[in-house]
Structure 1
Amino acid sequence: MTAQIWVDADACPVVIKEIIFRAAVRTKTQVTLVANHALKIPPSPLIRFVQVASGFDVADNEIVRRATAGDLVITSDIPLAAEVIDQGAEALSPRGELYAEGNIRDRLNMRDFMDTLRASGIDTGGPSALSQADRKAFANHLDRWLARRDVPPATR
């Protein structure tokens, strides 16, 4: 089976979804968005939407259940990225950061540290707005993944 893209769609920016939709149609790649609320998607047999029940990590758990080795998961959720990487999938943030075995543990540690700071009352601020550079980094990583998704591992 050909590798596909899974999107943690609850918090994925619209502009990133649009990049994904265009790439899916252009490259004939299956994309599945998973969210706990209704989403509007373009009419295409390549783009599917799975609505899950509301609740903590319900969408994440569905993605972990369905993603397989070689798939790409689009998410800003570090624990979800770590889980799918452990399964052999790849993970890419909407800001264009490619999560991999070599950096995911450091990202998890930093996330936990920031959670501890916030829990102790320290204002750590939120993420900056999605920039043009973020969108470009995302599109570039997505294009690279799409270009090599069907290349046998021995020839990569």
Structure 2
Amino acid sequence: MEVFIDADACPVRTEAFKVAERHRLIVHVVGNAPVPVPHNDPRVRRVIVPTTPDAADDWIAEHIGEGDICITADIPLAARCLKKGAKAIGTTGKAFTEDSIGMALSMRDLMRDLREAGAVSGGPASFAPKDRSRFLQALEEAIQAVKRGR
């Protein structure tokens, strides 16, 4: 089991590092620019990808496997990871599942269309302290589920 972080604009990297360290998991921090990572931790691997669209998503989707965990706010990336047998958790602690990913993709597309039509302005709600707590719980639950073989 390894953890893959879609690192660009990820507000829970530090929390993910702490949980992964406790479980002695390898963490791949993937982005198109360097982000802070723990120094001297051989289990944390920074991956810098080109600045082309979806380069980080493509790298994660190519390298993630069954039993791994992806941390991302990108719903299409979460869907790609689920197809490979991995778990996917949003940065707000929402676990994406085979049962929920279709609706999440549909809502994403609907909201994009409504924004483009001017019917809705703004994006998702701001990251809140409760999101951090929910994320920590979801990550721990995902790790335990993988350990139990679910």
Superposition TM-score tier, normalisation by shorter sequence: over 0.9
Q: Does 1:24 align with 2:30?
A: no
Give the corresponding residue for 1:10: 8
Helix, strand or coil for the counterpart of 1:149? helix
User: Alignment RMSD, CA only?
Assistant: 1.2
Q: 1:37 aligns with which of 33, 37, 51?
A: 33
Letter in 2 for 1:70: G
Encode CA deviations 1:116-144: one digit per residue, 9 max, x unaligned: 11222233322222112111110001112
Q: Where has structure 1 moved over 3 Å in runs of 4 or more?
A: none
The Cα offsets for residues 18-75 of structure 1, whole Å up to 9 and x where unpaired, read as 1111112211111111000112211201111100000110100000000001110000
Identity %: 36
> d(CA) in 2 for partners of 1:115 and 1:128?
15
For the residue of structure 1 that corresponds to 2:125, the secondary structure is coil
**1:82-104 deviation per Cα after TM superposition (whole angstroms, max 9, x unaligned):** 11101111100010000000000
Aligned equivalents of 2:145, 2:45: Cα separation in 1: 22
User: Of the candidates 31, 38, 61, which is equivalent to residue 64 of structure 1?
Assistant: 61
What SS does the aligned partner of 2:110 have?
Answer: helix
Amino acid at match of 1:60: D
**2:100 matched residue in structure 1:** 103
Amino acid corresponding to residue 46 of structure 1 in structure 2? R
Q: 1:42 is matched by which residue type in structure 2?
A: P
Normalising by the residue count of structure 1, what TM-score does the alignment of the two structures yield? 0.90
User: In the alignment, what sits opposite 1:121?
Assistant: 118
Q: Does the 8 Å CA contact 2:75/2:104 hold for their aligned counterparts?
A: yes
